[in-house]
């Protein structure tokens, strides 16, 4: 990461597009702006086509001999299967409203990162091979031949889209770049072009149970470690069960929450909350992954990973499923799970065992978002909360792309934050809720080698955070997304040092007064609470 | 289709290769198409069974009847009047109201006094059968009667 | 596509079309330009649009993927504003409301804003992003489309023997300021202004210029050409309206005739219109029917309580729980995780 430009250099963005027409320019693979090629072993595990050793920077990508035919056949197939795809290929008027809505364009200025043009990369091929005008008039009709250079360009730019859907909010026809990117990546997959970061996660998740490759026993081990950490802070040791049949609720969290700080604190928050409630729940080493990197490479792979949740719920005989804080996980659970792997007739309509509230909005998928669950608890006065325990936290809330634009979960997290924390400030209006900015690393782009692109993509979010940081002294960014919790720390260290990242349930557990707990002097991260700062220094 | 392509399609079939057959959201789509047909072809429906009647502006007024055949001409040739009479009237209005000049020389050299009601309508005294005949046909309301009040001739100044 | 190709080619194409029709009428091809071409264009338009709609309709909607722009319906006490209800619709009723706003008021375009990176010395990174509401494109688009509709409706009088009173009212409103004779219509002026704005934007906004194709300039030049020939015909090179109506009404009643004495400019105007109609189904102009099919707008955000079926859903290979247990049985047992099939001692 030595050759990453500093923030000052990175904010000198050239938005003026080059004079050379876009169809004539080849993609230039800039170091720090692409992800490495997938290793063959993952493709073999997953039965994905054309596993081979190749490298993005090589001239020869070792494509299958008839790659063009495969690509175009797969293209036609997707056109026949997805109305969205066919429509979005047909109706764009290139008004340009989406151009400056993409965080990669705002932070990088590469004109092919304007959503309209990123889509045109594929549309030009659509016109050439699937429309009469394109076949007849070629370039004049905005069509171009599919060549290896074009394929490389597609690869480069479809892995510079984080499927955040912000452009779709502003498009007068609702054209969704995320949909085009998902299908574009499927097409790339069909000729054996995948990135390692996604494939490794998917391959690991498929077999071991989670993206991070933790098999059931390791998963249990990790959680037991959290139990001890919880005990150290609160004196209370949560007692979750593993793969237990007959539990009322199956709890599924994204693996990011038990992989690394600060996600782990959120996981500790879940455990403490459940312990406080005496919830009859279990976690599973098979459905150990709420997130779904499979969805970042193809619909099929998304389905194959998502399959485990219902399958495991059925095997364990639980009544309903509770899902942790995660962004794309909730897009999948909301918009795809039931269609892919439902109907979940073997489950019951979710009812909170504590408050008796029926979650009627989840009566088909039978899966409840944990912020809904907790908001309901707070609303019914079931939680004894001491807000002052979060007084060292001045927070803002980052709406993650998917809960915002593919579910519409805005109020629950805010309601919870307002009930557990005294200092909450919103970022500027144009950067929150449905207009929220991506962390810059979503959709499987959070690989280290992709660092510069991630910093550029995260710039708009960081810049809005900078505003409340300076104005209100905000020192925490709270969010309900595991990828956020994984990628914001380096991003904020780069752009807005001094701001930490926290999950909503970490703050809940900080504030939660659990009967029988020891006096809390620190938060879950062992940072002194307000009023206990001096004691901490004495201990040192 | 080449053998190779067939092979690819066969391999795709295993993963749900799909060829569209039916119309999805049938009701809504058909309703949409019907609306489109009705809107786009509205004039055809509207006119169905109606025979278009051509306008026949009548020149059969007492004054014209009294004129000898050779003098039955207007200020400009007929075709020009059909296309441009509204412009002429507009120019005349400016000429009379702003400059106070009521003189006009017709294309035959004959001099006329500019006056809608006293000159034009002296010959064309049959407003309904002359003016309205075409104006109704082309659905254009003449702007004349915003200012001019149709009065009996003997009242006119 | 280079700017020259994208810009000049459509420009000269439209000029060429004007020339062709002018010369064609001069050599006596009125029948072609006045009757054959309009009928042909209308058939192509009609069949082409329906064909494309059917093509879209025959493609299934595998997943329900609305773009949610408001709070989802969750717990009953979670406050949802009217905006939330329409922008994250829970039922068909609200979906229709959302579509209505989208189709008639370009709701999403109304959201448009400009993002600007300003040098900002107070921040260590030296730059600050500013967002400001930018409604110009929305105003331009709204002005353009609405004036186009009014003009189209006004033209209905050429195709109907008598015109309904609502059209007459529209016309008198459009010509509210009785300036000049024949009266100047507001819609014509607004259309010209809007189209010039849209053109200038495509030429001088470097980003939009960069993405523009010939297919973007062509319809603009066509409509500009149609507008200019229309204005010229009404105000400068006037034609015999009775004869024009005889021709157009003849088309509408399937009794086509070519009356004597209609100026060439009329045929030029009509020819451009015909070409535009014929071009419609194969172009981006299909965004008109297309917007109704937009799955991110026309679906309810009710996924979690109403199942959506995908007609081609298939079962891929899965890695089952038993597969996993078989792989890790020993370690799982050691970790004290319950097993389906215990290890045989």
Residues of chain A with C-beta less than 8 angstroms from the C-beta of C55: 86
Residues C170 and C30 in one domain: yes
pLDDT of residue A5: 86
Tokens for C57? 């309709």
Does a structural domain hold residue A88? Answer: yes
For residues C201 and A121, what is the distance between their CA atoms, to the nearest angstrom?
22
B84 touches C: beta carbon within 8 Å = yes
Instruction: Identify the residue among C253, C285, C314, C316 best suited for mutation to test binding to B, counting B beta carbons within 10 A and taking the highest.
Output: C253
Residues A291 and A214 in one domain: yes
Residues of chain A with C-beta less than 8 angstroms from the C-beta of B19: 80
Does a structural domain hold residue A239? Answer: yes
Residues facing residue A476 across a β-bridge: A395, A500
pLDDT of residue B156: 42
- Cα of B22 to nearest chain A Cα, Å: 12
Segments forming the whole domain that contains residue C260: 3-314
Segments forming the whole domain that contains residue A15: 7-30+49-193
For residues B56 and A422, what is the distance between their CA atoms, to the nearest angstrom?
85
Residue in the structure block whose two tokens are 């001045």: A394
Residues C158 and C243 in one domain: yes
For residues C223 and C219, what is the distance between their CA atoms, to the nearest angstrom?
6
Residues A165 and A259 in one domain: no
List the single residue in B with minimal CA-CA distance to A83.
Answer: B24
What radius of gyration do chain C's Cα atoms show?
29
Residues A115 and A259 in one domain: no
% residues pLDDT > 90 (chain C): 70
A38, A41, A193, A462 from A52: Cα distances, Å: 8, 8, 10, 38
CB contact under 8 Å between B143 and C238, yes or no, is: no
Residues C101 and C169 in one domain: yes
Does a structural domain hold residue A95? Answer: yes
pLDDT of residue B49: 67
Residues C330 and C291 in one domain: no
Residues of chain B with C-beta less than 8 angstroms from the C-beta of C311: 18, 24
pLDDT at C84 over 60: yes
Residues of chain B with C-beta less than 8 angstroms from the C-beta of C167: 139
pLDDT of residue C169: 83
Residues A264 and A159 in one domain: no
Digitized pLDDT (tens) for each residue of chain B, 157 residues in all? 566 666 665 665 555 555 656 888 888 999 999 999 988 888 888 877 666 677 888 888 888 888 888 888 888 888 888 888 888 888 888 888 888 888 888 888 888 888 888 888 888 888 888 888 888 888 877 778 777 776 544 444 3
C182 cis-preceded (ω within 30 degrees of 0): yes
Residues A140 and A265 in one domain: no
pLDDT of residue B72: 84
Does a structural domain hold residue A524? Answer: no
| Domain end position, chosen among A193, A214, A233 | A193
How many Å separate Cα C68 from the centre of its chain? Answer: 21
pLDDT at C225 over 70: yes
Instruction: Identify the residue among C41, C252, C314, C315 best suited for mutation to test binding to B, counting B beta carbons within 10 A and taking the highest.
Output: C252
CB contact under 8 Å between B83 and C45, yes or no, is: no
C295 touches B: beta carbon within 8 Å = no
Residues A179 and A224 in one domain: no
| Domain end position, chosen among A193, A223, A246 | A193
Chains touching chain B at 3 or more Cβ pairs under 8 angstroms? Answer: A, C
pLDDT of residue C241: 85
By DSSP bridging, strand A281-283 and strand C127-133 are: unpaired
Helices (H), chain B: 3-13, 26-40, 42-47, 62-66, 78-99, 121-123, 131-137
Residues C146 and C75 in one domain: yes
B50 touches C: beta carbon within 8 Å = yes
For residues C85 and C69, what is the distance between their CA atoms, to the nearest angstrom?
9
CB contact under 8 Å between C246 and B54, yes or no, is: yes
Of B5, B17, B19, the CB nearest to A69: B5
Burial class (CB in 10 A: 0-12, 13-18, 19+), A382: middle
CB contact under 8 Å between A80 and B4, yes or no, is: no
Asked if residues A71 and A187 have their Cβ atoms less than 8 Å apart, the reply is yes
Residues A262 and A306 in one domain: yes
Residues facing residue A385 across a β-bridge: A512
Does a structural domain hold residue A2? Answer: no
What radius of gyration do chain B's Cα atoms show?
31
| Domain end position, chosen among A167, A193, A219 | A193
The predicted model gives C67-95 an average pLDDT of 94
pLDDT of residue C236: 85
Residues C47 and C128 in one domain: yes
For residues C321 and A179, what is the distance between their CA atoms, to the nearest angstrom?
31
Residue in the structure block whose two tokens are 């989208």: C102
Low-confidence ranges of chain A (pLDDT < 50): 1, 538-540
Helices (H), chain C: 3-26, 30-31, 37-57, 82-87, 92-105, 107-110, 136-155, 165-174, 186-204, 206-211, 214-235, 241-252, 264-279, 287-293, 321-335
Asked if residues A29 and A191 have their Cβ atoms less than 8 Å apart, the reply is no
- Cα of A116 to nearest chain B Cα, Å: 28
**What's the N-to-C CA distance of chain B in angstroms?**
88
Instruction: Identify the residue among A64, A75, A77 best suited for mutation to test binding to B, counting B beta carbons within 10 A and taking the highest.
Output: A77
A361 touches C: beta carbon within 8 Å = yes
B21 touches C: beta carbon within 8 Å = yes
Q: What is the pLDDT of residues A278-318, one digit of tens each?
A: 999 999 999 999 999 999 999 999 999 999 999 999 999 99
Residues A312 and A377 in one domain: yes
Closest-CA residue to A131 (of B30, C313, C213, B34): C213
Residues C235 and C309 in one domain: yes
Q: At what angle do helices C241-252 and B78-99 cross, to 10 degrees?
A: 130
Residues A143 and A255 in one domain: no
Residue in the structure block whose two tokens are 């090589």: A58
Asked if residues A231 and A475 have their Cβ atoms less than 8 Å apart, the reply is no
CB contact under 8 Å between C111 and A92, yes or no, is: no
Structural domains counted in chain C: 2
Does a structural domain hold residue A519? Answer: no
Average pLDDT of chain A, as a whole number:
92
Residues contacting residue A301 through CB under 8 Å, at least 6 positions apart: A46, A202, A294, A295
B155 touches C: beta carbon within 8 Å = no
For residues A240 and A288, what is the distance between their CA atoms, to the nearest angstrom?
14
Instruction: Identify the residue among C85, C125, C283 best suited for mutation to test binding to A, counting A beta carbons within 10 A and taking the highest.
Output: C125
Of C78, C87, C129, the CB nearest to A412: C78
Of A69, A80, A300, the CB nearest to B8: A69
Residues A12 and A62 in one domain: yes
CB contact under 8 Å between B90 and C172, yes or no, is: no
B82 touches C: beta carbon within 8 Å = yes
pLDDT of residue B14: 55
A521 cis-preceded (ω within 30 degrees of 0): no
Asked if residues C140 and C192 have their Cβ atoms less than 8 Å apart, the reply is no
Residues C307 and C339 in one domain: no
For residues A480 and A397, what is the distance between their CA atoms, to the nearest angstrom?
9
Residues A312 and A230 in one domain: yes
Does a structural domain hold residue A44? Answer: no
For residues A235 and A513, what is the distance between their CA atoms, to the nearest angstrom?
12
How many CB atoms lie under 10 A from the CB of residue C110? 18
List the single residue in A with minimal CA-CA distance to C112.
Answer: A170
**What's the N-to-C CA distance of chain C in angstroms?**
72
For residues A474 and A107, what is the distance between their CA atoms, to the nearest angstrom?
23
For residues C160 and B44, what is the distance between their CA atoms, to the nearest angstrom?
9
How many CB atoms lie under 10 A from the CB of residue C197? 17
For residues C110 and C96, what is the distance between their CA atoms, to the nearest angstrom?
18
The size of chain B, in residues, is 157
Residues contacting residue C250 through CB under 8 Å, at least 6 positions apart: B52, C35, C256, C257
A351 touches C: beta carbon within 8 Å = no
Longest dimension (CA), chain B: 96
Residues contacting residue B83 through CB under 8 Å, at least 6 positions apart: C238, C239, C240, C241, C263
**Dihedrals phi, psi of A301, to nearest 5 degrees:** -70, -35
Instruction: Identify the residue among A81, A96, A224, A299 best suited for mutation to test binding to C, counting C beta carbons within 10 A and taking the highest.
Output: A96
By DSSP bridging, strand A320-323 and strand A249-252 are: parallel
Residue A322's SS3 state is strand
Of B16, B43, B146, the CB nearest to C312: B16
Tokens for C29? 């091809």
Of A70, A73, A80, the CB nearest to B20: A80
Residues of chain A with C-beta less than 8 angstroms from the C-beta of C309: 339
Structural domains counted in chain A: 2
Residues A273 and A317 in one domain: yes
A279 φ/ψ sector (left φ>0, alpha ψ -120 to 50, else beta): beta
Residue A398's SS3 state is strand
B32 touches C: beta carbon within 8 Å = yes
Asked if residues A78 and A88 have their Cβ atoms less than 8 Å apart, the reply is no
Which residues 34-93 on chain A approach chain B with CB closer than 8 angstroms? 66, 69-70, 73-74, 77, 80-81, 83
């Amino acid at each position: 990461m030595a050759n990453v430009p500093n923030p000052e250099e990175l904010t000198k963005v050239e938005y003026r597009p080059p004079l050379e027409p876009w169809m004539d320019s080849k993609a230039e693979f800039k170091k720090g702006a692409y992800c490495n090629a997938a290793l063959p072993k993952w493709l073999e595990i997953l039965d994905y086509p054309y596993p081979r050793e190749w490298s993005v920077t090589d001239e020869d990508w070792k494509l299958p001999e008839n790659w063009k035919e495969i690509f175009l056949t797969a293209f036609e197939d997707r056109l026949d299967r997805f109305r969205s795809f066919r429509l979005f290929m047909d109706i764009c008027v290139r008004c340009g409203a989406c151009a400056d809505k993409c965080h990669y364009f705002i932070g990088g200025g590469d004109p092919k990162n304007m959503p309209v043009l990123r889509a045109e990369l594929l549309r030009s091929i659509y016109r050439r091979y699937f429309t009469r005008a394109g076949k007849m008039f070629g370039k004049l009709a905005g069509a171009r031949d599919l060549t290896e250079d074009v394929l490389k360009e597609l690869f480069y730019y479809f892995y510079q889209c984080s499927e955040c859907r912000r452009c779709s909010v502003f498009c007068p026809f609702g054209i969704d770049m995320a949909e085009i990117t998902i299908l574009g990546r499927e097409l790339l997959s069909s000729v054996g072009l995948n990135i390692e970061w996604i494939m490794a996660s998917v391959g690991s998740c498929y077999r071991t149970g989670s993206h991070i490759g933790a098999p059931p026993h390791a998963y249990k081990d990790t959680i037991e470690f959290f139990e001890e950490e919880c005990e150290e802070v609160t004196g209370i040791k949560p007692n979750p069960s593993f793969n237990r049949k007959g539990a009322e609720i199956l709890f599924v969290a994204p693996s990011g929450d038990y992989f690394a700080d600060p996600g782990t604190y959120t996981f500790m928050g879940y455990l403490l909350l459940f312990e406080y409630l005496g919830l009859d729940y279990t976690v599973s080493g098979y459905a150990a992954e709420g997130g779904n990197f499979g969805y970042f490479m193809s619909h099929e792979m998304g389905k194959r990973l998502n399959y485990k949740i219902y399958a495991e719920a059925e095997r364990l005989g639980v009544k309903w499923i509770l899902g942790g804080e995660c962004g794309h996980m909730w897009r999948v659970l909301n918009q795809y799970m039931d269609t892919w792997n439902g109907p979940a007739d073997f489950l019951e309509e979710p009812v909170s065992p504590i408050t008796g509230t029926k979650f009627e909005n989840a009566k088909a998928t039978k899966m409840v978002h944990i912020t809904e669950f907790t908001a309901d608890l707070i609303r019914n006065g079931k939680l004894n909360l001491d807000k002052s325990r979060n007084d060292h936290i001045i927070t803002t809330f980052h709406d993650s792309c998917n809960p915002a634009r593919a579910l519409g979960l805005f109020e629950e997290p805010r309601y919870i934050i307002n009930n557990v924390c005294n200092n909450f400030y919103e970022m500027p209006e144009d950067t929150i809720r449905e207009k929220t900015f991506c962390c810059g690393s979503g959709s499987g782009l959070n690989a280290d080698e992709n660092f510069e692109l991630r910093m550029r993509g995260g710039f708009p979010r960081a810049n809005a955070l900078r505003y409340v940081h300076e104005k209100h002294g905000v020192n925490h960014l709270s969010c309900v997304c595991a990828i956020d919790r994984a990628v914001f720390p380096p991003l904020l260290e780069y752009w807005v040092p001094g701001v930490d990242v926290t999950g909503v349930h970490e703050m809940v557990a900080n504030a939660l007064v659990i009967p029988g707990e020891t006096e809390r002097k620190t938060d879950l991260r062992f940072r002194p609470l307000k009023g206990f700062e001096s004691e901490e220094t004495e201990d040192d | 289709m080449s053998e190779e392509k067939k092979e690819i399609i066969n391999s795709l079939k295993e993963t749900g290769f799909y060829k569209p057959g039916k119309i999805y959201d049938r009701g809504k789509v058909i309703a949409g198409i019907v609306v489109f047909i009705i809107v786009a072809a509205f004039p055809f429906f509207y006119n169905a069974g109606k025979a278009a009647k051509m306008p026949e502006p009548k020149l059969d007024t007492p004054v014209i009847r009294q004129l000898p055949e050779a003098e039955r001409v207007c200020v400009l040739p007929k075709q020009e009047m059909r296309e441009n009479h509204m412009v002429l009237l507009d120019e005349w209005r400016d000429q009379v109201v702003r400059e106070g000049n009521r003189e006009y020389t017709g294309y035959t050299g004959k001099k006329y006094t500019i006056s809608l009601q006293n000159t034009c309508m002296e010959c064309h005294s049959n407003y309904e059968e002359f003016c309205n005949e075409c104006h109704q046909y082309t659905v254009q309301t003449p702007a004349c009667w915003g200012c001019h009040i149709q009065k009996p001739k003997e009242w006119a100044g | 596509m280079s700017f020259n190709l994208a810009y000049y080619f459509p420009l000269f194409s439209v000029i060429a079309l004007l020339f062709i029709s002018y010369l064609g009428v001069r050599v006596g091809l009125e029948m072609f330009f006045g009757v054959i071409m309009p009928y042909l264009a209308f058939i192509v338009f009609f069949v082409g649009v329906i064909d494309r709609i059917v093509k879209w309709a025959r493609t299934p909607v595998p997943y329900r993927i609305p773009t949610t722009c408001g709070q989802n319906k969750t717990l009953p006490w979670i406050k949802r504003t009217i905006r939330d209800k329409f922008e994250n619709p829970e039922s068909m009723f609200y979906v229709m409301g959302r579509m209505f706003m989208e189709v008639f008021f370009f709701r999403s375009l109304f959201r448009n804003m400009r993002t600007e990176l300003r040098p900002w010395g107070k921040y260590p990174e030296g730059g600050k992003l500013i967002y400001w509401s930018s409604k110009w494109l929305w105003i331009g688009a709204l002005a353009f489309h609405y004036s186009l509709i009014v003009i189209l409706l006004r033209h209905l009088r050429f195709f109907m023997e008598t015109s309904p009173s609502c059209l007459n009212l529209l016309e008198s409103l459009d010509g509210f300021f009785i300036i000049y004779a024949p009266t100047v219509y507001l819609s014509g002026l607004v259309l010209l202004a809007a189209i010039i704005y849209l053109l200038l934007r495509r030429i001088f906004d470097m980003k939009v210029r960069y993405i523009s194709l010939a297919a973007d300039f062509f319809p603009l030049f066509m409509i500009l050409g149609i507008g200019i020939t229309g204005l010229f015909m009404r105000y400068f090179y006037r034609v015999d309206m009775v004869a024009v109506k005889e021709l157009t009404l003849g088309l509408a009643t399937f009794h086509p005739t070519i009356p004597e004495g209609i100026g060439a400019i009329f045929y030029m105007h009509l020819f451009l219109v015909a070409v535009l109609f014929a071009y419609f189904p194969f172009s981006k102009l299909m965004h008109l029917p297309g917007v109704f099919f937009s799955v991110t707008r026309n679906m309810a955000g009710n996924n979690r309580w109403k199942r959506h079926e995908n007609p081609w859903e298939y079962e891929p290979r899965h890695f089952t729980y038993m597969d996993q247990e078989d792989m890790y049985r020993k370690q799982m047992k050691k970790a004290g995780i319950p097993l389906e099939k215990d290890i045989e001692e």
